[in-house]
Structure 1
Amino acid sequence: MILVIAFHLGLALAFGILSALLCPRPLSATVASFVILVLFGPFGGLALMMIAPGLGLPQARILSSRTAYQFSRDPQLHDAADKLFDQICQRRRHPLSGNAVSSFLKTFRSGTLHQQQEAIAAISRSYHPDMRPALSAALASPVPALRVQAAAVYAKLRGTYGTRAKDLLDQAEREDHARPALDANAFLEVAASGFVDNETREKLLFLASKLKEENTPPSVPSASASGPGPSRSMLRAMPRIKRYACGGLG
């Protein structure tokens, strides 16, 4: 009897070690699996099949999240979306043509998982308001890992543009002597991002319009608008001035 129990404990211990090596999990999950095998005896395998999936669920989520953010940085693996945004960052292409947006949408509909992850990474690096439909398509993807990645990018962009909007509004409310130089284009960019509410967007657009008016130089009036000049008849009516040899005028 003791020999059977020892054999059972050794077999359970060997299984636990093998499971820890082949399927990395938290230590608590490995210990729980070992205890289940020991306590349930011959039925330990069946009990483990029913109970163990719940033990590995948190780790599965962690691995899924890690997989979603492990992108290859090999230039040879960059897809068309990555190349496009490399060109935009280097100012070799104007953001953003309609074909580029269609290409992103096509990638999220029929591209491989790697291509879709690279496209989301490109959106995160160089977001443009025209990419909002593509990001929405990624958020609605049937692939859980892709949805997790898209949600992380969405949260990042919302936080970034929300902070920028708050900073711009705070700077605009300062007194003239304490206010830094403001660029109307910065207000327009944040307003068009799609990550601010309607009230904030209206404020940004109003301030951008106001800044453009303040920075527009006044127009120089033309000669015709500056008033009528002296007429030809008035010039003719002026008497001629004579100069005498002694140097006097008469």
Structure 2
Amino acid sequence: MSKHLLLRGVHKRIRHALRRKKPFSLVRIGDGENIVLAQKSVWSIRKVMKQKWARKARRGKKGVTLPNLKLRNEMVRSIRRATVVGILPKNDRNIRAPRYLKRKLTKKVFNYYKLKPKLTCHACVNRFLARRRSFWRMLRKYRVLIINKHPKKLKRILRRRPYRLKIRGTIAFSHYRHMRRAVRKARAMKNRFDVALISCGVNAVILAPRIAKSTGKVAIDFGKGTRRLAR
């Protein structure tokens, strides 16, 4: 039976993993991840491709190209490996997406794949953490790796006040096809960082557990938490 963590609980688990130098991965399941998982499982490919998110993905705007069953299967495996899995509450108002693409669809795909995470939290935990000064104070003590589309821009922001983080590496990532390269680079840098902040859409669900496993570090699917930062 899964245990649902509040924000304080997630913060505590991250802090514990960092202090003990234990691998830890946090992933989050929103509408995009639900659509990827629904491919040829609870929905037909035709129904998936009718969704606005999927059409944007086909045009190269989501960092993945659908349909893609390999991506779907990798995501399922990564959810099983993740330390904590963020899911949306039943009446979510944080994510701008039709209701049928949110918790209702998560329940369907999780039941289909028999996904039963031991630890869950709110899928918008990244946004909540970004607002907590205590979160940034904690990260200040550790070496950070940034993975996203424009990592150098984010590096400049996070090195300044009020964050003042020690950024020890960056990896540019804009599409699913960069997955192997990103994991390989993170593995090569494992002695230079303690925690990876990953913002690369649905790809982060696959990337975070892989990096945690291959480096023994903390890997956080930080998503749009970066949009909450002071510029």
Provide TM-score, normalisation by structure 1. Answer: 0.21
Instruction: Name the structure with the higher helix share.
Output: 1
Instruction: Name the structure with the higher strand share.
Output: 2
Structure number with larger C-alpha Rg = 1
Provide TM-score, normalisation by structure 2. Answer: 0.22
